[in-house]
Amino acid sequence: MPQSSVVILGGGPGGYEAALVAAHLGAAVTVVDRDGLGGAAVLTDCVPSKTLISTADFMSQFETASDLGVHLEDHEGDEVADSVAELTAVNRRVLALAAAQSRDIGRRLDADGVVVLRGTGRLLSPSRVEATLEDGSTRELEADVVLVATGATPRVMASAQPDGERILTWQQIYSLPELPEHLVVVGSGVTGAELAQAYLGLGSRVTLVSSRDRVLPGEDADAATVIEDVFRKRGMEVLGRSRMASVERTGDGVVVRLEDGREVTGTHALLAVGSIPQTGGLGLEEVGVALRESGHVTVDRVSRTSVRGVYAAGDCTGVLPLASVAAMQGRIAMAHALGDAVAPLNLRAVSANIFTDPEIATVGFSQKDVDEGTIDATSVMLPLATNPRAKMQGITDGFVKLFARRGVGTVVGGVVVAPRASELIYPVTLAVQHGLTVDQLAGTFTVYPSLSGSVAEAARQLHPTD
């Protein structure tokens, strides 16, 4: 059989994971990438934010030290009241780590024989891509299969223009020379909430401007309430029902004007008001690829677009803006295009995590699905405060919540709010993915004492009784 040729636009998780699969399946693969391998996920969004949060998390552990009987003293024996982050050192680490991860991906692609072209790609036809390289020259590439994985970029509003110094998108914060004295974060979705708490932990005064009743709209309401309480307890000012109208720079600060006329001043503003897909100028509409009104590429569960041979993966599809989902969509696309066994994308089994402190991890059906009758399920919520390990570790906020199909007891979803909830959600995800019952989950040994003991205990309480 002649070797298939695959051209991938974008080297983020959607693109590079697809490239590895396609290369293993024997295709000749070229990745055209504009901004650097790993994409926004590695260079500006996911990896940098989680690295920054690791420093903030480390610092917040000092706050519970005295509860656990530890007094931090300086060389003179005086009690240390505050730990201080040196932002330039933190940012240097963040950027070095991101660059190293990008290089690792490059080496991996190279080892697997994938050709990487640094430049901007666009479709000339469903089987021809033009790459404009960094030196301005162009190359035309023939392709049996094209994958579009060009990601998304921060939404910018005319009334709130970032200047990269005091009015910032989340992609610009890593060049800040010093810790903002008073950061006003606009937007209380996942990115806004994570970064607001990170800067609070690092030592900034933080005001969070949220247009909704509570932070993290769209997430489990019980979980969001825990997080908002923690934010306030730690000194963050949370302004609910406060819609931003404009952000402007003043001499040495910023003013955020709200739609109701109030003004919030600070030294810096961070805009976290969503993303828009990078699908303009790619020639997609010209070759017949259907886009939604939002600009996202329409795809099915095996990542096909409306044009045969053209696939799309990741944030440019708007399916679920997660690196893990982008990678899965990319892998599925290549398996489908190159004739390998393929299971369509199953969003019900996607585990997701919000890296606040405590973290919020979710999988499967949600409380909203249960409340709206999308699924007939029973649920139980166990506060972590009753868990012995949590008590030993001084953990007071958080819970485990499980949903089980009524009558049969199959685990269909869960929420964990805890430190490292991203690790604790895995047994629940396994149960959801493989249709395990609450009895099977409850009948599996957990370590004593452990936080995962609460997952088993919640399952035990959901034992079907009729």
Closest separation in Å from C-beta 60 to ligand FAD:
18
Q: Determine which residue in the list 4, 6, 15, 186 makes contact with ligand FAD, applying CB under 6 A.
A: 15
Single out the segment in contact with ligand FAD by CB under 6 A; choices: 33-41, 60-68, 87-95, 399-407.
33-41
Handedness of CA 37, 38, 42, 44 (dihedral sign): positive
Single out the segment in contact with ligand FAD by CB under 6 A; choices: 244-252, 312-320, 402-410, 412-420.
312-320
Closest separation in Å from C-beta 196 to ligand FAD:
12
Tokens 């957990």, residue? 446
Of the two residues 33 and 228, which places its CB atom closer to ligand FAD in the complex?
33
41 binds ligand FAD (CB under 6 A): yes
35 binds ligand FAD (CB under 6 A): yes
Closest CA to 49 of 218, 172, 203, 208: 172
Closest CA to 178 of 93, 90, 276, 46: 90
102 binds ligand FAD (CB under 6 A): no
Site string for ligand FAD, 191-210 (x = CB under 6 A): x-------------------
Q: Determine which residue in the list 187, 192, 201, 321 makes contact with ligand FAD, applying CB under 6 A.
A: 321
Single out the segment in contact with ligand FAD by CB under 6 A; choices: 147-155, 159-167, 206-214, 238-246.
147-155
How buried is 360 (Cβ within 10 angstroms: 0-12 exposed, 13-18 middle, 19+ buried)?
buried
Closest separation in Å from C-beta 166 to ligand FAD:
19
Tokens 């810790």, residue? 179
Q: In what order do the strands lie in the sheet with 138-142?
A: 138-142, 128-133, 115-125, 28-33, 5-9, 145-148, 310-312
Find out whether 58 and 202 touch, Cβ atoms under 8 Å: no
Closest separation in Å from C-beta 341 to ligand FAD:
23
Helix (H) or strand (E) holding 64: helix 46-65
Find out whether 100 and 51 touch, Cβ atoms under 8 Å: no
What is the total count of residues that contact ligand FAD (CB under 6 A)?
Answer: 37
Sequential DSSP letters for 103-135: HHHHHHHHHTT-EEEEEEEEEEETTEEEEEETT
Helix (H) or strand (E) holding 158: none
228 binds ligand FAD (CB under 6 A): no
Of the two residues 98 and 400, which places its CB atom closer to ligand FAD in the complex?
98
358 prior amide bond cis, ω within 30: yes
Q: Determine which residue in the list 219, 220, 228, 315 makes contact with ligand FAD, applying CB under 6 A.
A: 315
Q: What is the identity of the amino acid at 313?
A: A
Find out whether 114 and 19 touch, Cβ atoms under 8 Å: yes
219 binds ligand FAD (CB under 6 A): no
Angle between helices 221-233 and 190-202 (to 10 degrees): 20
Site string for ligand FAD, 111-130 (x = CB under 6 A): ---------xx---------
Of the two residues 121 and 413, which places its CB atom closer to ligand FAD in the complex?
121
How buried is 375 (Cβ within 10 angstroms: 0-12 exposed, 13-18 middle, 19+ buried)?
middle
- 5 Cβ contact partners less than 8 Å away, ≥ 6 residues apart: 27, 28, 29, 30, 141, 142, 143, 144, 145
Q: Determine which residue in the list 46, 160, 402, 462 makes contact with ligand FAD, applying CB under 6 A.
A: 46
Single out the segment in contact with ligand FAD by CB under 6 A; choices: 43-51, 177-185, 336-344, 435-443.
43-51
Of the two residues 10 and 413, which places its CB atom closer to ligand FAD in the complex?
10
Closest separation in Å from C-beta 50 to ligand FAD:
5
Of the two residues 311 and 441, which places its CB atom closer to ligand FAD in the complex?
311
Of the two residues 48 and 409, which places its CB atom closer to ligand FAD in the complex?
48
Residues that bind ligand FAD (CB under 6 A): 9-15, 32-36, 39-41, 45-46, 49-50, 120-121, 149-151, 170, 191, 278, 282, 314-316, 321-324, 326, 355
